[in-house]
Chains A and B, each alone.
Chain A
């Protein structure tokens, strides 16, 4: 069988790629996609922990489904903000959206 450590290392690597995407990219849509990658890495971890450490308690899967719901809410609000931003400023580059920067 697959050791638990493989899942954890894969999830850590996926999280770090998403982390790099959030910090380095300028396009707001790609930043939202990278956040989705990070949420997916967390979900792999949650399901792997459920399966390997406590498979007869369903709460691990319940937690993963709550993460799905939060991810859907996040992406809906995020994309609405991006589209509103594009309509008003004609840019979705996060470098140029510095109105609230002190």
Chain B
């Protein structure tokens, strides 16, 4: 077993452990911190996949922004103690069964797919993959339209978020 495989197994185990701790802890701040661990593990996987730019974006956007936003939301909603003492609803058992079935189904379906047996990746020919990614976003025959649509989506979502969270007077 090569070093890369050992690193992968360690990181994969860490991700799954952190994810499980995240969904099963009753202390929400601990949940948010376990989420940070899981997201960081995914960033390490991106490095293993030679997608360095995505790893940086993962740390910046997910850990730097989304996880911190989650912690803010946890702290702003601390008065709700009932959801802390009974952390799961009455369908939790069914949810676990469905999750296990989904996992088995996915593994069985994936196992029948020929590309599942791929063991080693092809070499990347490009000398500067980050430059290629940037060019793909701005060149007219690349992905300019999806890029602009994503920007408009973010702008609309943030305006909507400000509107939804803005305090309103009674009767308005």
Contact = CB atoms under 8 A, between A and B. Distances in A.
A53 B22 CA distance: 32
A6 B118 CA distance: 10
A47 to B, nearest CB: 5
Contacts of A64: 51, 54
B124 A55 contact: yes
Interface size of B as a range:
35 or more
Interface in B111-151: 111, 115-126, 129, 132-133, 136-137, 143, 146, 150-151
A34 B76 CA distance: 19
A44, A62, A79 pick with most chain B CB within 10 angstroms: A79
B49 to A, nearest CB: 5
B42 A43 contact: yes
Contacts of A34: 22-23
A70 B153 contact: yes
A65 B57 contact: yes
Interface string A1-44: 11111111110111111111101111101101110110010011
B159 to A, nearest CB: 10
B162 A27 contact: no
Given A17-B19, A62-B143, A72-B154, A36 B83 contact: no
A14 B92 contact: no
Contacts of B115: 4, 52-53
Contacts of B80: 27, 86, 90-93
Given A51-B50, A66-B146, A68-B57, A25 B35 contact: no
Nearest to B103: A16
Interface in A43-72: 43-44, 47-48, 50-53, 55-56, 58-59, 61-62, 64-66, 68-72
Interface in B32-69: 32, 35, 38-39, 42, 45-46, 48-51, 53-54, 57-58, 61-62, 65-66, 69
B13 to A, nearest CB: 9
A10 B48 contact: no
Contacts of A51: 49-51, 121
B16 A1 contact: no
24 contacts: A1-B120, A1-B121, A4-B116, A15-B102, A16-B99, A16-B102, A18-B23, A19-B102, A21-B23, A24-B96, A27-B87, A30-B28, A37-B35, A47-B45, A47-B49, A51-B121, A55-B123, A59-B143, A62-B137, A62-B146, A64-B54, A77-B164, A90-B79, A91-B83
